[in-house]
Amino acid sequence: MSATVTSQSGALLDATLAAGRPALFGYIPLGMPTPDRAIEAVTAMLDAGADAVELGIPYTDPGVDGPVVQRAGEAALAAGTRVRDVVRVVEAVKAHAPAAPVLVMSYWNPVLRYGVDAFARDLAGAGGAGIITPDLIPDEASDWLAASDAHGLDRVFLAAPSSTPERLRITASASRGFVYAASVMGVTGTRTQVGEAAEQLVADTRAAGADHVCVGLGVSTGAQAAEVGRYADGVIVGSALLKTLQTDRPWAARLDDLQAVTAELAAGVARARKDV
């Protein structure tokens, strides 16, 4: 049984759904291309219409990351980014946009090495909302469940099209804030179509007990955001945003491009429920 914790992500999703739309989550790796520029990118994304942020912790063995996110993570590591930088970046983002939940998306090894309770303590102290853990299953997360309860953080586990009803029940019960529904089997990246299994996965995850289900992997256009937002509580986008920062254009121009794509995605989620 989880402790009574006010979920930043859950509160955001309640508010956006009450306003008649899903939420838009934007993903950027911590320190890409440097920690200071990552702060500029995240705040620019929020100013352009993103509702919440996922800060990815760069990792040398990113099992679910596609080529775009892998390149971003490699750039962040080459720039000297360290796990401890998450505190400074989260604090800066929260100072700019206090109402926006800032979640960390991390493989579990960096958190283990930092110390599970210490990471939760420092993230909560910086104003962070919680952690998305792509390679940690609830069955093996007892230390994280305790730390997230102790420090009032969201804990977001993943569901996939291959998840069994029993696995969905366990995942929904352990998650706080939302369940991250992977729209396709495979790695992150833009796709011409969102996985056909995504809508059924959202329905099955809700039936398994999840209060909120957000969909990631494969969304890259406003039209896809509107399509997914028709049935999901939140739409999560990474690669399409990162591509705007991985060009040779001047940094200010790249930020403009990032904001243009963010605005298109935000317009997509804004009309998602109106198109039904």
pLDDT at position 276 is 59
CA atoms of 81 and 187, how far apart (whole Å) = 23
211 catalytic residue (yes or no): no
Angstrom CA distances, 264 to 18, 49, 106, 162, 219, stand at: 22, 9, 27, 31, 12
pLDDT in tens, 231-268: 999 999 998 999 999 899 999 999 999 999 999 999 99
pLDDT at position 186 is 53
pLDDT at position 62 is 65
Per-residue pLDDT, averaged over 47-54, amounts to 97
Q: Which of 51, 65, 85, 199 is catalytic?
A: 65
CA atoms of 89 and 231, how far apart (whole Å) = 32
Per-residue pLDDT, averaged over 137-155, amounts to 96
257 catalytic residue (yes or no): no
pLDDT at position 72 is 79
Chain center to CA of 48: 17
Cα(first)–Cα(last) distance of the chain, in Å? Answer: 37
Asked which of 56-70, 179-193, 208-222, 253-267 is least confident by mean pLDDT, the reply is 179-193
| Residue 178 token pair | 């939302």
Q: What percent of the chain has pLDDT over 90?
A: 75
Query: Is the CATH number of domain 8-271 3.40.50.1980?
Result: no
**Confidence class for position 176, pLDDT limits 50, 70, 90:** very high
Q: Which of 51, 54, 85, 122 is catalytic?
A: 54
Q: What mean pLDDT, rounded, does the chain reach?
A: 90
pLDDT of 21 higher than 50: yes
